[in-house]
Amino acid sequence: MPNNAVPSSIIDEICDYSLKFATEVPWLNEPLTRGRGKAYFLQHILRNRLLSSVLRPAWMSRCTDLAVVRKTIGQMREELVYDDKIAQAHTSILWQMGRNIGLTDEQMNTVKPVPLVDVAFNVWENIARTRHWIVAWLATSTDEFIISTMTNHNFQPEPWKKTFGLNDEQVFFIAYHTKADDDHAGRRVWDPITRHVHDEQTRQEILDGMILSFHALRLFYQGICELGDQMDKRKT
């Protein structure tokens, strides 16, 4: 193999690490409670806004692959403006899902990040602004890969239908995103990474940065669990 060639298995490493990490996240694997469900949506509303208004623009400004930039802009359009497939923005169905599980518009409008989630947000923003753009791309997409690829977890329709007594129409946001996220992350989507990794130093930089982003993701979910458990105790 030429000295400047790096095996495409870096994509396999990213995917394998992501799915292994997912098995260790309590929110994804433990029974979904009403509190943890509501807490997830309250904190995800903030993350969703941060992803498309701050994090993705930050790393895209340094991205050298225009195809990746164009695809990511298309994703941001779907999130914030308009998804042609459903004739509305993802934020619209996100808020409707929040209402379906009992959240008010006031709660969703005024929510603040809990401390652990706030730490995660700051780590991700630092990555988006200072690390290799591939590291930042992964930091803003690996959770989507987990959701669309992991076999059994709480970001699937059935747990929400069971916990909140919802029907298929009311869990449309969940069902749609397990499919839509497959177009936002994964082996096929991340394949351009192999065009930009030509030496072991870059490869290790990307993997190390990805691991840091997963530490932040662990804090994000931990913060949600703690908030959700408090909400369960208060029965809110």
Dist. CA 214–CA 139, nearest whole Å? 8
How high is the pLDDT of residue 3?
A: 43
Average the pLDDT over 39-43 and give the result. 98
How high is the pLDDT of residue 182?
A: 62
Topology at the third CATH level for domain 12-234: Heme Oxygenase; Chain A (1.20.910)
End-to-end Cα spacing for the chain: 60
Average the pLDDT over 89-103 and give the result. 97
Q: What is the pLDDT of residues 77-86, one digit of tens each?
A: 999 999 999 9
Dist. CA 70–CA 179, nearest whole Å? 20
Most confident among 2-6, 34-38, 180-184 (mean pLDDT): 34-38
Q: What is the mean pLDDT of the chain?
A: 94
Average the pLDDT over 124-147 and give the result. 97
* 145 and 18 Cβ atoms separated by less than 8 Å: yes
The residues spanned by each domain of the chain are: 12-234
- pLDDT of residue 155 exceeding 90, the answer is yes
- pLDDT of residue 179 exceeding 60, the answer is yes
Average the pLDDT over 41-46 and give the result. 98
For 160, counting Cβ atoms within 10 Å of its Cβ (0-12 exposed, 13-18 middle, 19+ buried), the class is buried
How high is the pLDDT of residue 2?
A: 40
Q: Which of 97, 88, 98 is nearest to 170 (CA)?
A: 97
Q: How many CA atoms lie within 13 A of 218 on its CB side?
A: 13
CA 231 to chain CA mean position, Å: 23
